[in-house]
Homo-oligomer: A and B are copies of this chain.
């Protein structure tokens, strides 16, 4: 099958997540990167493009020009990956969607609710695919967990614990990644809550299927002079009575990227941690705890569908991310060519993006109101 053509906005030299998207796009052989506006600095854009084997005439210094030019080409890109800082998601997203090009966008959706709403409006109007890279939902065992909850293996959910702890911002930011993530002009009003809190929130929503009705949040900026939060405590209330706690931190010394989810229901409980994503524990009440492995004994269809290699051969972060790119390929081929969708395809969409923005806003509002319960809507 011919590869889909991918463009990229952002992700030039010195960036982090752009490189991740590129590897992810390559892993399953569904995509070819052929165009880019990799930097707003024209020279850096060109140098980055050359390094990546993008033809010189498809390296653009300007995303608007790129959208226009690619839309006009016979062999124009099928989708664009937007990997810029948060405040630079909306403008290119709108430009490409309006140009008829599908969008794969990094999270969170935008820096402001207004930007988010605009993207959503244009997605609705254009009917183009919009995939938000909440990549953690694509880990095979997370897919398996979601299916287990949906199948009732845990009974009725009562309690959810989610946490996402890092320590890289324990001291004032000193590199490009830290700079923009702690600058509200670029990251939006949320710091840690937007950068990783949204991942945690999205993971809970995906796995449990529960709708969060309200939350009470206590946000802090522990590092002196930091303008955005770096530690986030949230209590959650879900539709139907389940309760949750969410902790996100970028100042929790001793943690690298410790996203961890625990779900407890009337009949069972499960636990998964991102740093060793190839195993998950599951306990049926009154029985011994089981260690479920990616693709191993006890794997279900949802987990197997997103698994590439045998159990015991660890897949990691890049493979999970790659699964999103393959899901995107399915969705886009289906949209553009009517190729049938495989059973179980899933990718986070504009809805997840809007939910994430509501989560950020509600956390900030609640925290300003001394952690008052704040509805998510």
Residues 268-283 (chain A) with a chain B CB within 8 angstroms: 268-271, 274-278, 281-283
The verdict on A285 contacting B171 (CB below 8 Å), with A51-B1, A159-B249, A254-B268 known, is yes
Q: How many residues of A contact B (CB 8 A)?
A: 92
Interface string of A232-263 (1 = CB under 8 A from B): 01010100010111010101111111100010
A72: interface (CB < 8 Å): no
Residues 195-233 (chain A) with a chain B CB within 8 angstroms: 216, 218, 220, 222, 231, 233
Interface string of A308-337 (1 = CB under 8 A from B): 111111111111000000000000000000
Bound form: Cα–Cα A114–B29 in Å: 38
Bound form: Cα–Cα A310–B19 in Å: 12
A370: interface (CB < 8 Å): yes
- Determine how many copies of this chain the complex contains: 4
In the complex, which of the residues B29, B257, B269, B316 contacts A310, with contact meaning CB atoms closer than 8 Å?
B257
In the complex, which of the residues B222, B243, B317, B373 contacts A309, with contact meaning CB atoms closer than 8 Å?
B317
A292: interface (CB < 8 Å): yes
The verdict on A373 contacting B373 (CB below 8 Å), with A235-B235, A266-B170, A314-B275 known, is no
Given A276-B278, A315-B318, 16 other A-B residues pairs in contact with their CB atoms under 8 A: A19-B309, A26-B29, A27-B27, A27-B318, A29-B52, A158-B231, A168-B310, A216-B235, A216-B371, A218-B237, A253-B265, A256-B296, A287-B298, A290-B291, A315-B317, A316-B319
